């Protein structure tokens, strides 16, 4: 009889391909294009494709940092585990605490958006008026069921909707270019001189471009479920960034050529709806595509946060029940807790600020939180290799590039905070500050009352022997506690 695993995830479940699908789906390509093109073009104007090319390079640098960690630490804990090994338990705990609130916003953000888009679509197309929160609630239950069935089922579902969203948006982009755009197709959109606001405008475009990539790093949370994780995770990281980065640059190239000039593109609050109406004669297909994107996004994104909850619960940093898995070796308790949280947050905040208010506020918290994590990890990887793998330290790969990454990522932080976003999004930074202060207080409590937990933080779970794929009777992975330091 197969052994019931209570604190381990199913090993050797995900290939490189399925891992790539999960992190590409988390990026929500169609959603990112639909929502971020306008603010990015507001600064870069007709040079939007060049700005997104810069964002692609910046995210490849972040991928280099994460890959360097992932080659040594196969774990579901991601930044929590990585930074525990880099900075010790305090740094790891605070990184995991920040990751909780950043990734925690994915569910409320996307469920509210799906509810709003679905409600608007049904009203416009069929005259049916269904409250957004009803539609959101239905999708919560659907995503809950899919993710409870196992990560492989989640990946298959995400792949179907990912193919749909990418295919439709590429089709629209090809139509724009095939019809000659507004007045011909020109490569001058890659000329930085065409930025509306010079270097500052390119910075704005790059900021929103970087935010379009958020989610690619989530493949690192699958380190315990991927086949040959030390190879799979880095390869999936770079593959996802390059493939979706090329998609973003190509669609930006099409949108820039679809308008008369950079000013017209920057002035349009919903440029892709305008382009769909002009070149396809309607927006219904685009609206459904964005909903498909949000659906795939929330499936992949909720998997990521659930695995972080699982990792911190397994180590008793959070309630230990969160670290339990069910018969299918999925973290069912963490999943249930997160689905309930997502539904309640979306509903309660949405009733006051509306579903799009939830989307904007939660998205701001997610964006700021993840960029902070990118910066800390980039500094941490230098320290990690110098302390634990000095013989493998590369001055360029583990020194120069991570430091450059940290400096570049300061630009999105500045762009998110200056000028200050409108209410209630301007409260996002203060929520993060209060959350981190609460985390610091909880850390002090753990040090004083439960020091043994602090000393055991940051386990990277590794198999004592390589089991056969699907062999439930294989021994549970053994934790490697390389970061068992109090300091």
At 374, which CATH number?
1.20.1740.10
Tokens of 262: 């950079």
Residue 1 resides in a domain: no
DSSP lists the bridge partners of residue 197 as: none
pLDDT at 161: 92
Residue 141 resides in a domain: yes
Report the domain count for the chain: 1
DSSP lists the bridge partners of residue 478 as: 462
**Model confidence at 226, in pLDDT bands (50, 70, 90)?**
low
Residue 279 resides in a domain: yes
Per-range mean pLDDT, top range of 75-79, 139-143, 313-317, 319-323: 139-143
**Model confidence at 232, in pLDDT bands (50, 70, 90)?**
confident
pLDDT at 52: 96
Q: Whole-angstrom Cα distance, residue 20 to residue 237?
A: 7
The rounded mean pLDDT for the chain is 87
**Model confidence at 3, in pLDDT bands (50, 70, 90)?**
very low
Residue 307 resides in a domain: yes
pLDDT at 347: 96
Residue 401 resides in a domain: yes
User: Each residue of 296-325: pLDDT tens digit?
Assistant: 999 988 988 998 898 888 888 899 999 888
Residue 234 resides in a domain: yes
pLDDT at 411: 83
16-30, 38-52, 167-181: range with lowest mean pLDDT: 16-30
Please give the average per-residue pLDDT across 181-206, as a whole number: 90
Q: Are 151 and 310 in contact (CB under 8 A)?
A: no
pLDDT above 90: residue 456? no
Percent of all residues in the chain with a pLDDT value above 90, rounded to a whole number: 60
The residue with greater pLDDT, 281 or 26, is 281
Domain that holds residue 303: 16-453
Residue 460 resides in a domain: no
pLDDT above 60: residue 4? no
Tokens of 19: 């891992």
Percent of all residues in the chain with a pLDDT value above 70, rounded to a whole number: 90
Residue 474 resides in a domain: no
């Amino acid at each position: 009889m197969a052994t019931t695993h209570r604190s381990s995830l199913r090993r050797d479940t995900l290939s490189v391909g399925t891992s790539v699908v999960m992190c590409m789906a988390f990026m929500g390509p169609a959603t990112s294009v639909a929502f971020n093109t306008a603010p990015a073009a507001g600064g870069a104007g007709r040079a939007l494709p060049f700005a997104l090319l810069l964002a692609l390079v910046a995210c490849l640098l972040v991928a280099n940092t994460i890959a360097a960690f992932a080659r040594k630490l196969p774990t579901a804990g991601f930044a929590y585990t990585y930074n525990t090994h880099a900075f010790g338990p305090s740094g790891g705990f605070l990184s995991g605490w920040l990751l909780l609130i950043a990734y925690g916003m994915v569910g409320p953000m996307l469920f509210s958006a799906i509810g709003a888009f679905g409600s608007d679509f049904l009203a416009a197309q069929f005259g049916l008026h269904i409250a957004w929160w009803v539609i959101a609630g239905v999708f919560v239950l659907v995503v809950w069921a899919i993710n409870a069935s196992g990560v492989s089922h989640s990946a298959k579902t995400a792949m179907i909707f990912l193919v749909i969203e990418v295919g439709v948006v590429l089709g629209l982009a090809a139509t724009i270019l095939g019809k000659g755009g507004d007045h011909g197709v020109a490569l001058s959109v890659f000329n930085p001189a065409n930025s509306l606001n010079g270097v500052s405008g390119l910075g704005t475009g790059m900021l929103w471009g970087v935010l379009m990539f958020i989610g690619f790093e989530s493949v690192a949370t699958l380190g315990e479920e991927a086949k040959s994780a030390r190879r799979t995770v880095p390869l999936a990281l770079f593959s996802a960034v390059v493939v979706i980065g090329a998609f973003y640059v190509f669609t930006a190239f099409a949108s820039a050529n679809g308008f008369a000039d950079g000013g017209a593109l920057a002035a349009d609050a919903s440029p892709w709806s305008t382009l769909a109406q002009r070149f396809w004669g309607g927006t219904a297909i685009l609206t459904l595509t964005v909903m498909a994107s949000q659906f795939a996004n929330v499936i992949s994104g909720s998997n990521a946060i659930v695995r972080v909850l699982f990792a911190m619960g397994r180590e008793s940093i959070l309630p230990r029940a969160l670290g339990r898995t069910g018969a299918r070796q999925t973290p069912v308790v963490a999943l249930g807790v997160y689905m309930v949280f997502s539904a309640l947050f979306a509903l309660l905040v949405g009733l006051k600020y509306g579903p799009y208010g939830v989307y904007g506020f939660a998205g701001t918290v997610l964006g700021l939180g993840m960029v902070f994590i990118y910066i800390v990890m980039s500094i941490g990887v230098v320290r990690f290799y110098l302390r634990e793998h000095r013989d493998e330290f590369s001055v360029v790969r583990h020194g120069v590039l991570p430091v450059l990454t940290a400096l570049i990522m300061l630009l999105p932080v500045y762009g998110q905070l200056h000028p200050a976003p409108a209410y209630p999004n301007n409260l996002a930074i203060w929520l993060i500050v209060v959350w981190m202060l609460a985390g610091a207080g909880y850390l002090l409590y753990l040090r004083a009352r439960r020091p043994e937990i602090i000393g055991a933080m940051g386990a990277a779970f590794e198999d004592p022997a390589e089991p056969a794929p699907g062999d439930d009777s294989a021994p549970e992975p053994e934790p490697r506690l390389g970061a068992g330091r109090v300091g």
